[in-house]
Structure 1
C-alpha cells in the first residue's frame, strides 16, 4: 500500500541559513562588480609624490627640532657649569666668614653680629640697617658678595630648570616628527609595491631622462648666465660635484642630503654658513623675483617654504628632491616657486 505521508519540509533554521548564505553571495558578487579598479601607474605616482611632499614638510620640522635640541643642550650644559662655579665661589666666601668666626671664638667668643653673617639669609640681615653699624667695612662687603652670589645662583638654577623642561618638550617633538616622516615614507613604499617591477623601472627612467635634460639646459646656459657673485657660482660648482648623491631626511652631507642640508653644504664649501632649515634659509639673504635669478641663488618653493634648491640657470634647479631620488637637476616649473634668495 502506497505511503501518503507529506514530504519533509525544511526547518525554519535551515531556511534562515540558506537565505543568509544567498544574501552574502549576492553581496560579494555586487562588491566584486563595483570594486575600485587597480590604480594606474600615474595615479600611484601622484599619490606617492604627495606623500613624499608631506614627508619633506615633516623633515624640515624634524630638522628644526633637532637644531633646537642641540642649542638647548649647550645652554643647559653652560648653565650647569655656571651654577657649579658659582657654588664654589659662594662656599669660598662663606669660608672666609667662617675664618672670622673661628678667630673670634679663639679670642673669647663669636660676636652676635658675625653669627648673623653666617646665617642662610644674608639679604634679611643686610636689611637691618642698625645692625650694619656693628660690622666692619670688610664684613659688610663680604656679606653683600654672598647675597649677590646667592641671588645669581637662584636665577641660574631657575633658568636651567626652564631650559631642561624646554629640552624635554623638544625631544618629544623630535620623536613625533621622526615617526611622522617614517610613516609617510612607509606608506609611499607600500603604494610603490603595488606596481610591477617594470612600472617602477619606467618611473625611474622617466625621472632620469628629465634630470639629464635639465643638466643639458643648465650647461647650455653656463656661458650666458653669469653668477650673481663669486661665492654663489662657487657654491653651485660645489653642489654639482654631488649630483647622484642620495636624498636622506635629516642628512647634511657629504654622502647624503635632504634639501636644506644640500644647499647648506654647498655654501659651507665657500665659507658661508646658512641656517639649517629651508624656512630660515629663506631669510638668509636678499629676496628676489624669478626674473632676477642668477646661478647660485637659493630658490624657495611651496607656500610654507619647505623646499629649497640652487638655481642652475636656464630655468633649472639643482637640488635634493625627496626620498628615493638623488641630487639632480629639475625644471623650476615642477614646483610652486615662491622667490629667490641672493646670499651676499
Structure 2
C-alpha cells in the first residue's frame, strides 16, 4: 500500500505520557471490580498469568471500555441536544415576556388616558392585575369593556398563558439536562475504571508485546477465519472517497474517548469526523452507525464503507480497500491501518449520501 501522510503530533507524546502516568496512578488507588479486582488480589507467590490469558483479559477490558465509551458518547450527544432545546425554550420565553410587557404597557397607557379624561372604566383597573384571565371568565366584565379593549385583554391573556407554558417546559428541560449530566458522569467513570484496569495489564507486558498488541488478539478475533477475496472496487460515491481521504489524513492521531476530531478520536468519532468532511452527518455512536445506511456483503465492501465489529457493534472502522480498515483502536494507540478481519465482524454499512 502506498505510504500516507502521518498526522502531525507536536507535544502529543508528552501529553500521552502524562495521561498514562495519571491513569496508572488512578488505577493503583481506585477500588477495582470484577476480574480486575481478582488480578489485584492474586497471590504474589502464585503462578503469573500466561501471555495469552493476559491478552484475552486486555481484550475484554478494552471491549468494556469501548462499550462504556459508546454509552458515554450517546449521553453526551443527548446532553448537547437538551442544551440546545433548553436554549431555544429560554429564547421563546424571553420573547413571550417581552410581548406580555408590551401588551401591559399598552393597556396601562389606555387606562391612564381614560383616567385623565375622568371616564375611567372600572374594568380597566383590572387590566393591570396579576391575573386578568380570571376576569374574562365573567361575562359581565367583558360586556363592560369595548371591543378594542377586550381584544387587547384577550391577547394579554393568551400571551401570559403561552409564557407560563414556556416556563414550565424550560423548567422540565432543565431538570432533564441535570439528570443527563449525572448519567454522563456515571458513564465517564465506567470508562475510566475499565481503562485503569487495562493499564495495569499493559504495565505487565514488555515493550515488544505492547507494540504487537492488536485489539481482538485473543480468542474473540476473527483473523483465523477465512475471509473473502476483496475486489479492488472504487469508493461507492464521491462523498465516500472524500471521507476515505479524511480518515487517511489523520492516521497517527491519538485515541481519546469522546473525541470527534480534528486532533483526537474514538472509533465512532473518527467516522463522524471523516464523513463530516464529505458533507455527510453520521450518528454519533457505532450502534447508531450500524443502521446509518445500506448493509452490504463483506466481499462487496468498497472504500468508505463502515465495518462494525463485535455482536454489540461497539467498535467501528472504515474500509479503505486492500482488505484494510482505518480505525481508532483503543486508548494509548493511534489511528492506524489494520486488517479488516481483526475482530469479529457484525456488518458492513454503506452510509447514505
TM-score (norm 2): 0.78
- Are 2:338 and 1:330 equivalent residues in the alignment? yes
Structure 1 residues 137-286: aligned runs within 5 Å? 137-195=147-205, 199-205=206-212, 207=214, 224-286=232-294
Q: Which residue of structure 2 aligns with residue 97 of structure 1?
A: 107
Q: What is the SS of the residue equivalent to 2:341?
A: helix
Greater RCO (Cα-Cα under 8 Å, separation 6 or more) = 2
- Alignment partner of 1:43 is 2:46: no
Unaligned ranges ≥5, structure 2: 1-41, 218-222, 224-228
Work out which of the residue numbers 53, 58, 68 in structure 2 matches 1:58: 68
TM-score (norm 1): 0.80
Instruction: Quote the Cα distance in structure 1 between the aligned partners of 2:57 and 2:213.
Output: 17
Deviation for aligned residue 1:221: 6.7
Following superposition, the deviation at residue 33 of structure 1 comes to 10
CA contact (8 A) 1:53 1:322 kept: no
Aligned-partner SS, 1:334: coil
CA distance, structure 1, for counterparts of residue 101 and residue 271 of structure 2: 51
> What CA RMSD, in Å, does the superposition of the two structures yield over aligned residues?
2.5
Gaps of 5+ in 1: 1-31, 215-219
| Pairwise CA distance, 1:263 | 1.0
8 Å contact from structure 1 (residues 192, 200) kept in 2: no
CA contact (8 A) 2:63 2:314 kept: no
* Equivalent position of 1:11 in the other structure: none
How many residue pairs are counted as aligned between the two chains? 300
CA distance in 2, matches of 1:181, 1:299: 23
SS in 2 for 1:300: strand
Whole-Å Cα distance in 2 between the matches of residues 46 and 149 of structure 1?
A: 64
1:4 is matched with none
For 1:82 and 1:306, the matched residues in 2 are separated by 39
Question: Of Structure 1 and Structure 2, which has the larger fraction of its residues in helix?
Answer: 1
Residue 207 of structure 1: CA displacement? 4.5
- After TM superposition, the runs of 4+ consecutive aligned structure 1 residues lying more than 4 A away are 32-35
Residue 310 of structure 1 corresponds to 318
Check conservation: 1:67, 1:276, Cα contact below 8 A: yes
Whichever of the two has the greater Rg, that structure is 1
Q: State the alpha-carbon separation in 1 of the partners of residues 230 and 242 from structure 2.
A: 16
Equivalents in 2 of 1:203, 1:288: separation in Å?
A: 34
Partners of 1:172 and 1:182 in 2: CA distance: 16
